[in-house]
Amino acid sequence: MVAHFSNFSRLITLVISMKTALINCNGKPILKSLFQKIKNKYSPQLIGADGGTNFLFTINEIPNFIIGDLDSIKIEVLEYFRQKNVKIIKLKSQYDTDLEKALQLCKRLKFEKILVTSFTGKRLDHTLSNISNALKFANYFRIIMIDNESTLEFITGTNEFKSFKGEIVSLYSFSPIARITTKNLKYPLNNETLFFGEREGTSNFSLSDNFKVKVEGGFAIIIRSTKNFLKYD
């Protein structure tokens, strides 16, 4: 079944009670074992962003949606999932990336938490583009981008994180006006900026079993190891 955005009204009823989505992109595939851990922990709806669907096929996962201009998904994969009655949304526009199209779908379907996997590797410009695309939607949901080693999350407002003494935590911001205040980190910030290209917060350390990060006037990025993120989230 191929759908377009005009058909969203009937799709919404199918996922209204399902608040978490996992979007698999067409970058370096995440480890199958890690994918299963994420799936088991969050029970998300699965979305194949065009060529990212090929990986779902190889690990025998059936997505709830496939979306994109469908120029990267293998023909046999598309046909297989068509036979499985997966909802396929073809959008030809070249002005939005496949991840943006998937995030637009999530916005329309009122998801609250978005997990993005397989978004790094292959091409550095695609990795940076995926992070930029996700940031555009940070006002609408909690967005967490997970690769095999590290997890990136966009944060704003007051945030408290479970942790352990010595955990490595890095903070960044693409906003010149976002002010950041931290508590229980070795190198504290007090209403300070971490504008990308001017100042970074790489390799800070937790001092306790929790730490706090307050962000005012924009978004910051927090990066932790994927192992620690999945343990404490």
Average pLDDT over residues 186-206: 94
Is residue 134 within 8 Å of residue 154, measured between CB atoms? Answer: yes
Ranges of each domain in the chain? 2-148, 154-232
**Fold classification of 154-232 (topology level):** Rossmann fold (3.40.50)
Mean pLDDT over each residue of the chain, to the nearest integer? 91
Q: What's the predicted TM-score (pTM) here?
A: 0.90
Amino acid 16: pLDDT = 45
Question: Is the pLDDT at 2 greater than 70, yes or no?
Answer: no
Give the integer Cα–Cα distance in Å for 233 and 230: 6
The topology under which CATH files domain 2-148 is Rossmann fold (3.40.50)
Report the pLDDT value the prediction gives residue 196, as an integer from 0 to 100: 87
pLDDT the model gives residue 123: 83
> Cβ distance 64 to 86 under 8 Å?
yes
Query: Which tokens go with 230?
Result: 């999945």
Over the stretch 69-128, which tens digit does the pLDDT of each residue have?
999 999 999 999 999 999 999 998 777 899 999 999 999 999 999 999 999 987 888 899
Q: Is 216 exposed, middle or buried (0-12, 13-18, 19+ CB in 10 A)?
A: middle
Given a contact cutoff of 8 angstroms between Cβ atoms, the answer to whether 166 and 211 are in contact is no
| Two domains, one topology: 2-148 and 154-232 | yes
Per residue in 24-52, pLDDT (tens digit) is 999 999 999 999 999 999 999 999 999 99
